A and B are shown apart, each in its own frame.
Chain A
Amino acid sequence: MLRFFKRPLVVTADINLNLVALTGLGLLTRLWQLCYPRAVVFDEVYYGQYISFYMKRMFFLDDSGPPFGHMLLALGGYLGGFDGNFLWNRIGAEYSSNVPVWSLRLLPALAGALSVPMSYQIVLELHFSHCTAMGAALLMLIENSLITQSRLMLLESLLIFFNLLAVLSYLKFFNSQKHSPFSPHWWLWLMLTGVSCSCAIGIKYMGIFTYLLVLSIAAVHAWNLIGDQTLSNICVFGHVIARAVALLVIPAFLYLLFFYVHLMLLYRSGPHDQIMSSAFQASLEGGLARITQGQPLEVAFGSQVTLRNVFGKPLPCWLHSHKNTYPMIYENGRGSSHQQQVTCYPFKDINNWWIIKDPGRHQLVVNNPPRPVRHGDIIQLVHGMTTRLLNTHDVAAPLSPHSQEVSCYIDYNISMPAQNLWKLDIVNRESSQDTWKTILSEVRFVHVNTSAVLKLSGAHLPDWGFRQLEVVGEKSRGPHESMAWNVEEHRYGTSQEQKERELELHSPTQVDISKNLSFMARFSEVQWKMLTLKNEDSEHKYSSTPLEWVTLDTNIAYWLHPRTSAQIHLLGNIVIWVSASLATVAYTLLFFWYLLRRRRSICDLPEDAWSHWVLAGALGTGGWALNYLPFFLMERTLFLYHYLPALTFQILLLPIVLQHVSDHLCRSQLQRNVFSALVVAWYSSACHVSNMLRPLTYGDTSLSPGELQALRWKDSWDILIRKY
């Protein structure tokens, strides 16, 4: 026991003061007055809603990205004790006292602050000097757009953080490859690469670009490893498998995990329920679950059901009919059958109820025991309120003349016989003997006489059809989700008489059974909806095109003080933006120059300087290009902040190019000194610009109109000037 005291307690600390200083400065710039402004700033209005949903555990669907970023923001709210009670409806609205602004904004700010020392580390790991690394970090530190973006409840700074972490850990891993493969250190960095890649993807789909960058660099390195004949086959195999697990399996697994946590957290029904399938809605507490709880599972002859279209586009809706008939002659002169309209109606309504009837029998009640309907059975569908039968025939549909009209049959005695037999086709059956299940089964109704399939055409009927959606019979043009229907509400009918039955239809369903969806089914549905949900492409006052980003021809006004002219803008440090772009161009030109000369066996750079130069460029220009160029192909509304991840890669490259110029292109010491002086002058001008734009970055000082006008360096910048 006492022996413990005999030895001195020694702690050797190896502290890089550069790092400490950078971290301190980063924290200072990002955390300073974090609670200001105490009002909703720009996209906080959007992310704030989701934070509230997390706090209230209500389900929502955001098609902009996976849930990890939202969850991180919500974590801040959770730690700050936010109850979710705030109406996020307007930019500029004052936060009420229950909103813990500081803790909500803390995580993005921390991520932004830590990006500064991380860029220092990255440049070091690329084997460039400490001075260069400091340069990169200092540029990150004073870049106004990064500061603005990390001080608010927004996701970009988190995304950038994980992007940089992925790159850094891959570099650490790669540098330990030579000396200590398969050491704990090696494993740690390798795993961390995969983890941070998937975190980046989990925050925004944009993270995929950095993931691709890391993957392709890793692939090239692995390919060289395969060619290394000093290693045994087993060893190479181990290397490849380790990389595959860390960079492919772990990200996929984590991605699923984010959704798992997301769906675990959000177990209550919420505002976006309607978009989801009935089965999904039934798995949420409240909402549809309240209605469907205790419904009988198997649909039987005599069941009363509502039928929801599975595709649900343009609107989720239920098969519907009402007393009104199709107009005799349409506007364009075509005729109709003048029978009762069948439509798809986006609201719950008594007229959405249908009864499943056995064509061979007359009764509309369920036998005891119930006789379940199976795949392939021939059925008739009786409209509950009018007791007419669902029918289709060789008459052109009102708006889709290539398809058949669907009606509820009225016998006018004009040699137009009823064709009301439908064959049940369960789309997601497991065997041909499957029974038709409430909510779970997706079924198609195939018309027996014409083999047309009941389908939602997507068109809105004109006024005579009350602007409900058109339902048609279409001859098979390949399966499509708009042809599939599922039973949502369901009960076993017991009333023999029509009057009783109408009363019965009005009363809510009650019986007992419930079935939950598996996680994978829920995940794939959420994922699919996220990818296919079409946002109306909205124009925004501050939207911009990718071409405007490189030269910083655009800005975004984030917030304006309600009384003074203090305002926050997303506006970059133009010196840094322009010189970073120039550095990228310079790198590219130099790279191709060296490459061509090497091809002719003229080596300007020593071998390892060349390989460092190539790797730095692959990260810098590759990261920039991958994070930037794909936006030219995107058809959605784009904003300046989409450029920030690309910008960080450019900033990393900038000091590297400068060091290269000084090391390899300056011939004499004199030139080198002059060049250093120029760099210092350039950096101080960047600091100066940064300082001038500071009021717009923090929004803490109110400038006079004249001063604001003076800051408007480009005509395209939209700086708000109050007219008094």
Chain B
Amino acid sequence: MLYASGRFLAARAATTLHAPPRARGPALRGKRRELQIPGHLETPSYDSLTGLRTRSSAPPARRVVLRKGRMPPAIGSSHAGSELRLRRGRCAPQASRAGGRDKVPQVAARSLKRPAWSSWRFETAGWWATLAVVTLLSFATRFHRLDQPAHICWDETHFGKMGSYYINRTFFFDVHPPLGKMLIGLAGYLTGYDGTFLFQKPGDSYEHHNYMGMRGFCAFLGSWLIPFAYLTVLDLSKSFPAALLTAALLTFDTGCLTLSQYILLDPILMFFIMAAMLSMVKYNSCANRPFSAPWWFWLSLTGINLAGALGVKFVGLFIILQVGLNTISDLWYLFGDLSLSLVTVGKHLTARILCLIVLPLVLYMTIFAVHVMILNKSGPGDGFFSSAFQARLSGNSLHNASVPEHLAYGSVITVKNLRMAIGYLHSHRHLYPEGIGALQQQVTTYLHKDYNNLWIIKKHNSNTDPLDPSFPVEFVRHGDIIRLEHKETTRNLHSHYHEAPLTRKHLQVTGYGINGTGDSNDFWRIEVVNRKFGNRIKVLRSRIRFIHLVTGCVLGSSGKILPKWGWEQLEVTCTPYLKETANSIWNIEEHINPKLPNISLDVLQPSFSEILLESHMVMIWGNNGLKPKDNEFTSKPWHWPINYQGLHFSGANDTDFRVYLLGNPVVWWLNLVSIALYLLSGSTIAIALQRGVQLPAELEGLTRVLLRGGGQLLLGWMLHYFPFFLMGRILYFHHYFPAMLFSTMLTGVLWDTLLRLCAWGLASSPLGSRIHVMGILSLLLATAYSFYLFHPLAYGMIGPLAQEPESPMAGLRWLESWDF
């Protein structure tokens, strides 16, 4: 919101400033108080990035100079120029966009006064050198002691294991989209990891297994965050100090460092988020040369990175939202520009649809296609998916299955719930505990394949063995009254007027009777959904319901997890509500009947779109299932920005090698203060502009940076932070890190701008000229020093805990809640 209004304001301000001649050019510049701030606009690259070329007041010669900058001579430059003239010629009020772009920081123009070749070269070299230094430092910090500890840390146990699954090509289930794990697997594969390590639990030593490839890959991606942030801020604020400050804050943040050093999805996710942000910002600054090569390049790169971010975790949706909002406002301004014909606007729109919607979608689907192509062997994730899905997996009992097609009495079957991730009807030799319904055998649903999932289908009124060869085969038909006998325990599926263990309004389902002899509560009517009475029941393809004869309720699974006594399997109930939901519809998966001929069933192969849909349903279902329990300490979103509590990556006791994920408190608290300061200064400026206050020209550029660039970053922070308050799933501290990146960039922009404002305000006093340099320097030094203090958190430490005086971290436990 702030971002949008910022843009609006800037546009407004630009139009108001348009008319008076003082904005026109060098004539007035002499009168201005000069801003003597070293480091600010001494970079011509900055000019070339912002589209100063469109200034019609800039003499042609200067343009030539500029064109030799970083950007290749754009094909559209003359075109853009002419367009611009047109814009100016007509509609004054509509020229907001043109005016806004056109007037890009007034202060900037000063550097144009000395187009000296030598200094220009010198500065380009400096530009590259700084970037190189920033990148090098980032890589150095991330790769330092990367191999330690040589055991599994925290979630490496999951993601490392999933990487191994890709190498072994076994199918598994995870709540995140596959790209991140695929990349980890690829990195492992390329660096000679063979996928044999078990990744059982945190703390297990890697021994001879090659884990450095995977860690190195994550650290490699994690290291790029800093140069990306540096370039983004440079582009948004046009100020070296701001970009340097951001880079330093991120480099010296122990949290970012820790999170980048292990086999996790987060460095990959953050890499794509930051890359998308950077390419979006870059493409915004090419806006004055639409359809030029760099414009296309950055636009499609944005799309590619969006697909990457979404392909790693669903958190990628937030950056998609941000790019979407940016694109909408962009198109809105283009649309309002009456100098552009509707055809041109249409071209703009099509280009964005192509690059930001079609391209990412195609890539995203490709990721899934590769995912299902690689994982073609049966594995631990099978049970989460429908019978049809499993038929794809080699090694699964349904792969190239040949089973009897129609269900007959005496068949041994497994019954699977149609709802994703509920599993098979299951029973085992344990009773419901006392106080929970009748003291009879538990019936649950279970996601894994197991002998206890087998049931025998029998006639309700006779207990003769239907497999006796003397009897003819009798098929089960729609509407028949049957009994389901649990094969292992010979108890019947049973229901009665007792409340179900978790869903109080439903009836309890139990296993009852001995050797198949029970009572009339064991009778169920089997019905095929949407079929006529008397039809046979097909394996796999018929969608069936079991209706309890006595109470009239329907067999279903509530999807709720039973407590310990039920082995955390899912609750099965008999629901009196006859609404048709997937929870109460089942299909027959395995089917064994020696009296019937086996028929090969390959009709089942689901199409790719079905696979895609099903995977997503299961992922969403899985995500919803991750609920925190009462009486457990959980991380709350409000804990995160204040760095309230960290996460133990490795070890907790004083003899262990301890790594503790915790942000550098100096950086994080500075970020927190900055957000408050930003809101304060931003709204003050916005209100002042709305009241029509005429700002001096020097401030004009600064406020625009603050409102427009800062607004984008604030929006990014909000989009990556606030949705977590709405989430019901269990949350962890590391979910905040994407938001933290944005907040750090905002800090860089804010402090640079505020210090410049101070410098401008104090220009008359001797302090004024130095306050900016001093301020930035002291911030840099403070961060570096705090990193020196806190670096053991990230690089690991052994020794007593922080409350002991002889600990390496003694005196640094600034909050009670930090336990390192």
Contacts and interface: CB of A to CB of B under 8 A. Distances in A.
Interface of A: 223, 226-227, 229, 233, 236, 311, 313-314, 399, 455-460, 462-463, 467, 476-480, 482, 536, 538-541, 596, 599-601, 633, 635
A194 B339 CA distance: 46
8 contacts: A313-B630, A457-B631, A462-B433, A463-B433, A478-B645, A478-B817, A599-B335, A633-B726
Contact of B692 (A229, A476, A482, A536): A229
Contacts of A482: 631
Given A458-B632, A459-B564, A467-B435, 13 more contacts: A223-B690, A229-B691, A233-B691, A313-B631, A456-B631, A462-B433, A479-B817, A482-B631, A536-B504, A539-B505, A539-B575, A600-B338, A635-B728
A458 B630 contact: yes
Contacts of A223: 690
B631 A477 contact: no
Interface residues of B, number: 34
Contacts of B728: 635
A380 B434 CA distance: 36
B788 interface: no
Interface of B: 91, 94, 332, 335-336, 338, 342, 433-435, 503-506, 563-565, 575, 577, 629-633, 644-645, 687, 690-692, 726, 728, 817, 819
Nearest to B629: A458
Contacts of B335: 596, 599-600
Given A311-B631, A313-B631, A459-B564, A227 B503 contact: no
A538 B505 contact: yes
A456 B631 CA distance: 7
Contacts of B342: 600
B504 A538 contact: yes
B434 A463 contact: yes
A602 B435 CA distance: 73
B15 to A, nearest CB: 13
A477 B687 contact: no
A596 B335 CA distance: 8
B336 A599 contact: yes
Nearest to A476: B819
Nearest to A534: B630
Contacts of B504: 536, 538
Contacts of B577: 539, 541
A458 B633 CA distance: 12
Contacts of A233: 691
A683 to B, nearest CB: 35
Given A596-B335, A600-B336, A226 B633 contact: no
A601 B632 CA distance: 59
A476 B648 CA distance: 13
B631 A601 contact: no
Nearest to B5: A223
Contacts of B503: 539
B631 A480 contact: yes
Contacts of A463: 433-434
Nearest to B688: A226
B94 A601 contact: yes
A603 to B, nearest CB: 13
Contact of B691 (A227, A539, A601, A633): A227
A67 B630 CA distance: 27
A226 B631 contact: no
Contact of B631 (A458, A536, A540): A458
CB-based closest 10 A-B pairs: A458-B631, A477-B633, A482-B631, A227-B690, A599-B336, A313-B630, A229-B692, A226-B690, A480-B633, A478-B633
Contacts of B645: 478
Contacts of A538: 504-505
B728 to A, nearest CB: 6
Contacts of A633: 726
Contacts of A314: 630-631
A456 B817 CA distance: 20
A458 B631 CA distance: 6
A649 B690 CA distance: 32
A477 B646 CA distance: 10
Contact of B332 (A227, A456, A599): A599
B589 to A, nearest CB: 27
A345 to B, nearest CB: 15
A383 B492 CA distance: 49
Contacts of A539: 503, 505-506, 575, 577
A480 B639 CA distance: 13
Nearest to A399: B564
A59 to B, nearest CB: 24
Contacts of A236: 691
A533 to B, nearest CB: 12
Nearest to A598: B336
Contacts of A313: 630-631
A482 B802 CA distance: 25
Nearest to B345: A600
Contacts of B564: 399, 459
A485 to B, nearest CB: 14
A14 B455 CA distance: 81
Contact of A226 (B505, B575, B687): B687
A354 to B, nearest CB: 21
A633 B645 CA distance: 29
Contacts of A601: 91, 94, 338
Most buried by A among B94, B691, B692, B728: B691
Contacts of B338: 600-601
B423 to A, nearest CB: 21
A588 B204 CA distance: 59
A687 to B, nearest CB: 33
Contacts of A460: 563
Contacts of A540: 505
A294 B373 CA distance: 75
B268 to A, nearest CB: 29
Contacts of A226: 687, 690-691
A602 B75 CA distance: 33
A555 to B, nearest CB: 14
B684 to A, nearest CB: 12
B431 to A, nearest CB: 12
Contacts of B565: 462
Nearest to B803: A451
A158 B624 CA distance: 35
Contacts of B433: 462-463
A233 B690 CA distance: 12
Contacts of B633: 477-478, 480
Nearest to B728: A635
Contacts of A459: 564
A539 B581 CA distance: 13
A480 B691 CA distance: 48
Contacts of B435: 467
B348 to A, nearest CB: 14
B789 to A, nearest CB: 23
Nearest to B635: A478
B566 to A, nearest CB: 13
Most buried by B among A314, A460, A539: A539
B563 to A, nearest CB: 8
B340 to A, nearest CB: 10
B640 to A, nearest CB: 13
A91 to B, nearest CB: 15
B358 to A, nearest CB: 23
A458 B628 CA distance: 13
Nearest to A467: B435
A446 B503 CA distance: 38
A31 B439 CA distance: 53
A31 to B, nearest CB: 36
A399 B629 CA distance: 14
Nearest to B94: A601
A265 B13 CA distance: 57
Contacts of B691: 226-227, 229, 233, 236
A476 B505 CA distance: 39
A366 to B, nearest CB: 33
